Amino acid sequence: MPRGRYSLHDPHHHTPLGEEHFQCAPGPSGWRYVSQLTTPTGDHAGSVDLAIDELGRPLRVELHSASWQVRGAAIDGVTWVRSDPTGAHATEGNVSAHAFSGSSPSFLVAISRLLRLAPSAPATRIRLVTFSDPALAPLTADQAWSLVRTEAHATDNGPLTVDEYQVTALDTGEQHAVHIAGDVVLAAPGVELENLETPPSTFI
C-alpha cells in the first residue's frame, strides 16, 4: 500500500498551494485512494476519497474543502452533489462525461486506468468534470490523452516502469506531460512527488 506526500503548486505561477498526504491500494474490485490536504502553513485544507472499479470507472468520489463538499459516482455519465459542510445548501449535477478530475494526482491515475492506452496509439479523447479548488465548482472539459513511451528504471527495489502521457486540453490546445508509475504520479503540472514510503502498486 503506497503512502507518501505530494507537494501542490500553481502550474503557471509556481505558487505553493500546500501538500497532499496520501495512501492508496488496488483491490479485488478496483483501486482506492485517500488523502488529507494541508495549506502551505500546515493547516488542514480538505480531503480526497476516490474509488474506481477494475475498469477505471469512478465508483465513488468524496471531496472536502474548507467550505464545500462533493460526492459523486458514475451514474448516467457522472452524477454529483455539491453542498456546504452542513448539507443545507445542496445542488445536484449530471453530465454525459467519462470521469471526474481535480487538483489531486489521484484523478490522473484513475484516468490512465480508464483509458488503458497503448504506446504510439492515436490520442484518445475524454470528457471530464473537473472540480476546482477551493470552491469545488464543477467544470466540464475535454482532453486528449496519448501514451508517449513506457520505460523501466532501475531502483533498489527492482525495475520501476514509468508511463509518460501527453495530455492536451482541447479547448486551448495546451499540452503537458504526466509521468505515472503504477498507482503513483511521479510528476505532472502542479504536482511533485516529495516522499514515498513504499513502492507503487502494480496493476494486473
**CA distances (Å), origin 30, targets 48, 50, 146:** 17, 11, 22
Residue 193 has pLDDT above 80, yes or no: yes
| pLDDT (0 to 100) of residue 158 | 73
Burial label, 112 (beta-carbon count in 10 A; 0-12, 13-18, 19+): buried
pLDDT confidence band for 54 (50 / 70 / 90): very high
> At 72, which amino acid appears?
G
Contacts within 8 Å (CB) and 24+ apart, 117-121: 117/145, 117/146, 117/147, 117/165, 118/147, 119/147, 119/148, 119/149, 119/150, 120/147, 121/146, 121/147
pTM of the model: 0.95
For 61, the grid coordinates are 468520489
CA gap 150, 174 in Å, rounded: 22
Q: What is the pLDDT of residue 66?
A: 77
Please name every residue paired with 131 in a beta bridge, in sequence order, or none if there are none: 102, 138
pLDDT on residue 161: 92
Q: What is the pLDDT of residue 29?
A: 84
Q: Which amino acid is at 129?
A: V
Peptide bond into 134 cis (omega under 30): yes
